Amino acid sequence: MLPRWRYLTPHVFEATRGCIHTCDFCVVPSAWGRRPLQKPPKVIVEDLKRMRTRKAIFVDLNLIADRHYARRLFTALKPLGIQWYGLATTLLADDLPLLDLAAESGCRGLLMGLESISPVSLRASRKGFNRPEDYATVVERLHERRIALQGCFVFGLDQDEPDVFEKTARFAVEAGIDLPRFAIVTPFPGTPLFRRLAREGRLLHRNWEQYDGQHVVFRPARMSVEELQQGTEAAWKQAYSWSGIARRLRRTAAPWHVAALTNLGYRRYAHNLHRFYTCDWLFDAPSPWRLLHREPAGNPPASEEKA
């Protein structure tokens, strides 16, 4: 059994896997295909009831890939009276009946890949259904239904220039995005982006440990490697400056104390990116669990005794 106290919540579920879209940098179509695999909603409900779930996280990368399925799932969730959080595309905000149903079923937070504020970049990345001119409306429609937004952006697309970082962070604050996130576009193996950059000779290395969304592993088209790395860090700090946090908190859809705590957590992250670029800090730092189970002083580990 895993120690529950080490996790935010054990109530994590996956209803679907796969996505109908073919975004240039996304691993999902390559890994799981474009025809979503789906669990029957009644199975999800049974799992939720069995675990006595009050708050759930759905890790599906696009919970509304099949809207007919999403309607069935949200309808099945309504009688449970739970709160849930998940991932979807901006297309949900265009389908008001489905968005209303999501809210009625207990949705209180969504992660959406906004990716860029440039329509040209989005079309080049095969994510042209995102419309930056409508992002503010997306935020507004979610907030009207008490749904908070974690909006994710990527930097380093071929059309990005050095001013993209300041512009994007400023937009995230002005639009009232509850929790903005910024990443460096990463050419994961198997994606169209990886194949193109490899063909163009722009991959810097194949050290997969750094293919993590936070390290630059290719030569950008319109800026230097250093500009991309440093600009991403600057965007984090700008969005999570004290003034940026204050402006976004005034409009948040989340409970104020939750929004404040999460923003403070992300502010710490923004100012310590050099520490958090990998998960090594999780394993290097001592934990109460390790201290509780460490070997008594003076006794060699069991492996050494056997040797």
Q: How far is CA 159 from CA 116, 230, 304, in A?
A: 10, 18, 56
Region for 176 from its dihedrals, namely left if φ exceeds 0, alpha if ψ lies in -120 to 50, beta otherwise: left
Which residues does residue 153 pair with via DSSP β-bridges, in sequence order? 115, 182
Region for 33 from its dihedrals, namely left if φ exceeds 0, alpha if ψ lies in -120 to 50, beta otherwise: left
Report the C-alpha gap between 40 and 72 in whole angstroms: 9
Q: Where in the chain are the domains?
A: 4-306
Going residue by residue through the chain, which has 307 residues, state the pLDDT in tens, using 9 for 90 and above.
667 777 777 899 999 998 889 999 998 888 888 888 999 999 999 999 999 999 999 999 999 999 999 999 999 999 999 999 999 999 999 999 999 999 999 999 999 999 999 999 999 999 999 999 999 999 999 999 999 999 999 999 999 999 999 999 999 999 999 999 999 999 999 999 999 999 999 999 999 999 999 999 999 999 999 999 999 999 999 999 999 999 999 999 999 999 999 999 999 999 998 887 655 544 454 444 343 444 344 444 443 333 3
Residue corresponding to tokens 């639009």: 175
What is the value of pTM for the model shown?
0.88
Could you confirm whether domain 4-306 is CATH 3.20.20.70? yes
Compute φ and ψ for 80, nearest 5 degrees.
-75, -25
Q: How many residues does the chain have?
A: 307
